[in-house]
Structure 1
């Protein structure tokens, strides 16, 4: 082996080692979907990053890192003032009404596909979003204070205005019930203000029931009519009454066309009757979201974060692709950020226009 070959082999080994170190040192902070595309936020040595995934490629979202970045033409920044973006460190938390929503240091940000708009965090400058759920007409933020006094609050967002809901606790989880256009809210408080309750919110709060003292809810989601609750006592359902359906130790439940459950024993699907275990992803799952006909799953094992794609019974590791995202903007960016709901509306409008044109031509004939 000559000197030239040794150098090439050495460079290849160095590149492979650098790639492995980079993968080990990232931490995924956010993963959400609009039905057809996903956004992923992660942290590595040079700061926070967010990438959009269209099912085949990742695109690096242009987060401003210095004042000159505000003059980019790929997207507009509002306001165009550096103080709004300095140390923002945005993390994607959800999607609602055609807009991607980010949580940042003392601020929230919104991206509608063209403009990245930053506002100060409503009602709590020292809060971080721990949970975000979208409904038909509004969405709910669950936020936790990051001061010495730690508690969680709930804020409603209708796409333009924020409204604080009068409920505060040590632990809060929410789920939207479309059939009733209302919200289910779990509240747990300790100490002198002890409470462990389930509430219904449809403009006002109504307490539905109290749980026993040791009962804890880890996660909730709704399939439109039934809410599943992952608890330390097993899996429960709520549809007017609370019922235990399994002793399974699920800690994360997600509905998006079917139920996906994360447990200490791996991933399961649930069809309302039977649980089916799927291939072990080899990570402790933290995020689950659905994009088109596949699932994106993020988690960690032995300090290494991974982003996986699950489709047709197989897992594909997308972590390296995420870290090598293509430059913004994505191809066909005008349509890339529209969710499945927006696309259905556009298709309907186009169909109506075509129908009207055919009627007009028929009358002229």
Structure 2
């Protein structure tokens, strides 16, 4: 998309000339004077304004000042005038003006070159500003993460003096930030470990890849504490070197917790696998039950119907919902002379028998009677209670 340029010129001939020079390279808008220019600037955003100085109602100098202070402080300005005394070039170039050209003293190509240069500078400035803003935002986020981290963190200069520490380090050491800023990292550790800490950090500063080191930290208050020290090198440029590090407390209960978490994960996975297998078995059982020509009914431990296959409805005309919602009692289905079948099954359960069978007559939903042979199968848990 072409960049927008606003031309403010009260001389119609010169205004048209400027338009012809720039119209093929830029999106050019014309204004006959400052009033129209301000209206245009309020309605749209322009990258650059080319303005005359001596104009009726308001001169170009006042226009530039008003635009920069009230409308768009980032707009680039090129002044073209025949009256240099109205705004001396030195003053203009220090007041938001990029170029100061005298009418009749420049070629069309020179004007276009100045416009291109002004827009290029503006893009560069805005890009640098955006980059700086992003860097500032990133630094704020990183500082917040650093500060709020539960892990004790520190950053040192090349002399191994902390330049930045977080609350976690204050808590584990018991020292304030002022205390820590006057100490070297090895000073935080007990005397027997200081030499190996110094050697460890020296290797890090030389750019070597070193494994975390276990040592005892000397706390300001309380007993010494065993910790794990890790560190890495940060180079900002060829001359600036920082060292960032972490001091983690060694938790004696950590292996136990890790093992417990592992066992819990294994148990959870085992339960998920069992649940999957049970669902698969239930699906296959339903398929078998629905495809058999027998009437199949499942009862719970209180002899309430839990499941019946499709043959139950096909032969008797009742739905499972009728029985589960107790809209229909078994005594209403059984022939009056066969009500004893319920007692026979109950007695079999009391005796912990696994099977009971016999003949039974059932009434259908249409009132007819069906003669059937039944077989009841019972299963019990370890306490010999009906499942």
Q: Is the shorter-chain TM-score for this pair beyond 0.5, marking a shared fold? A: no
Answer with 1 or 2: which has the greater Rg: 2
More strand by share: 1
Per the normalisation by structure 2, the TM-score is: 0.20
More helix by share: 2
Higher relative contact order (CA 8 A, sep 6+): 1
Per the normalisation by structure 1, the TM-score is: 0.21
